[in-house]
Amino acid sequence: MGFNADLHSRLDEIATLLELTGANKFRVNAFARAARAVESQTKDLSSLDEKDLIAIDGIGMGIASVIRELADSGSIEELEDLRKEVPAGLANVLDIQGLGPKTVRLMWQDLGITDRAGLKKAIDDGSILTLPRMGEKTVENIKAALTFASKSNERLALGIATPIAEAIVERLKKVKGVKQCAFAGSMRRGKDTIGDIDILVSTTKPEEVAEAFCEADDVERVIARGESKCSVRIVVDGNSGRWKSDGKTPPTVGADLKIVPDASFGAALMYFTGSKEHNVRLRERALKKGMTLNEYGLFPDDKSTTESPQSRGVKAVAAKTEEAVYTKLGLPYIPPEIREDAGELDLVETPGFIELADIKSDLHAHTTASDGVMSLTELIQCAIDRGFHTIAVTDHSKSSAQAGGLSVERLRAQRDEIEEARKHFGKKITILAGSEVDILADGSLDYDDEILAWLDIVVASPHAALSQDTKTATKRLLKAIEHPHVNIIGHPTGRLINRRKGLEPAMDEIIAAAVEHDTALEINAHWMRLDLRDTHVRAAVEAGCKIAIDCDDHAPEDFDNLRFGIATARRGWLTPELCVNAWAAKKLHNWLKKKR
């Protein structure tokens, strides 16, 4: 684990442990915000002094000294003290859906619950009922959440969870009386993994909506069913078509339904989309303007009472749409993907981020010549159907034997097939003869320079030796970036979400070299990869680095993954100008030819 990743983990742990000790919320938030700031950094923070550290938004003098302490000594004294104070298993109890830090702290202090096993025992013997505001229904919900947490404690990949949420939304939209329905949460923000699914509905018939939500065939268990909120567990298998059980029990995912007033739908969508940190900043801004913001809307602030404005019948200043709320707060509309308290509230206008419709080419695709399931003709037709002006055929190079990598002889034969295809499809689309060339462990490429220069496009990607240390991985990728015939670095870290960490190169060096050598870095849009990840994209955008968004197509349905790549790009503040796939054909082709 690199220094930044280790630091992020430790700062996040400090925030959690402080929360469990009942520490001041501002101190808790300071560590949580610093953890997020560290996660987005591409420089190795161990090499920075305190002056440089406090220049990073989200890191103050206190946190900077903590970072230097870790860099100099390998440990953080405050964390070690907290670990002694807070039982090791308590953070796992806090992960149980429905349990907040105050409740978990009470369980620990009043009942001696220090882990999930202790929680289960307290539920079984009934002692948990002695805690304040702990009724039988609440305990039943905690018990169900504990059961499901033991079955699945892994966040779901965005590409698995999104089809489930979309199916729920489409089903509920068909229910009589439904006016609006949408998913919210981290899924709407386009995060690469999600913890659960949040669905919002406004309706005149809440009972019918609850029935459609709770009694669907894929619901494994109903946890709660009420007039304004329902919670269920959904079996993933059979929903996305992307989970292969291999004999294992299929995972489940939590789904929450919130039934909200139609007049408050925009405010509710904003609130439940989050992030929590973004919402905190909005509430602070509202208070400075003499207003109060909650899930029901933006209201005039009445400091004479603690009673909520909506319960007193106060009319909202804005609530129907998110745009209306942002406008009344003196802000432009903030796209959901960047609501992370990462500078978005400093915007003076809504940014023109990349959109799905902007993409006009795919520069990373495979056929049956290597490990794809599409023939050359099928691949080309899929690209035409998408309205693309260019498709690059980039089957694997010879070292990827497990993926049917092409020898030089087979590569030349494929070029002949592409020339024939050009005669047939030439007026409809440009077909590039390329290769996804392996970046070998030492940074050399899998074909010699003569072959690389002969190709129309070279996408160089790491596939093996993905556990290299940061220094070695950085040197390896830099060598490929600097190669005169490489156009794009494909999935630069080689990570697989929830499966493989991949390389951890010094991304600031990688990005700087890519800018210097006019090499694009790829956002691989496959939902298992999303590599570059969002924080890397943000750093690349700030440096003016060119970005490619490619689907790494192996099958026709892989083209649909483009939306996940777009979400990642938007989270990184990418505009069409820096995305080579959004360029007009002439501009793209001229750029590619510079390295031939």
Ordered DSSP codes for 468-497: --HHHHHHHHHHHHTSTT--EE-STT--BT
| pLDDT exceeds cutoff 80 at 245 | no
Closest by CA position to 451, among listed 478, 414, 421: 414
Tens digit of each residue's pLDDT (9 = 90 or more) over 442-452: 999 999 999 99
| pLDDT exceeds cutoff 90 at 153 | no
For domain 266-346, give the fold: Beta Polymerase; domain 3 (3.30.210)
| Per-residue pLDDT at 498 | 85
String of b and e for 184-212 (b: at least 16 CB within 10 Å)?
bbbbbbbbbbbbbbbbbbbbeebeebbeb
Between the alpha carbon of residue 420 and those of residues 412, 415, 417, the distances in Å are 13, 9, 5
| Per-residue pLDDT at 149 | 66
**Assigned superfamily of 356-593:** Metal-dependent hydrolases (3.20.20.140)
Helix (H) or strand (E) holding 435: strand 430-438
| Per-residue pLDDT at 310 | 86
For domain 3-151, give the fold: DNA polymerase; domain 1 (1.10.150)
DSSP string, 238-257: TTSS----TTSPPPEEEEEE
Tens digit of each residue's pLDDT (9 = 90 or more) over 196-233: 999 999 999 999 999 999 999 999 989 889 889 999 99
Beta bridge partners of 300: 291
- Residue 40 pLDDT grade (very low, low, confident, very high; cuts 50, 70, 90): confident
Percent of the chain with pLDDT over 70: 96
Instruction: Check residues 326 and 30 and name the one with the higher pLDDT.
Output: 326
Mean pLDDT to the nearest integer, 416-440: 97
Residue type, 572: G
Distance between CA 509 and CA 547 in Å, rounded?
16
Distance between CA 561 and CA 160 in Å, rounded?
11
Does residue 389 contact residue 363 with C-beta atoms inside 8 Å?
A: no
What ranges do the domains of the chain cover? 3-151, 156-259, 266-346, 356-593
Distance between CA 170 and CA 163 in Å, rounded?
10
Does residue 97 contact residue 256 with C-beta atoms inside 8 Å?
A: no
| Per-residue pLDDT at 497 | 92
For domain 156-259, give the fold: Beta Polymerase; domain 2 (3.30.460)
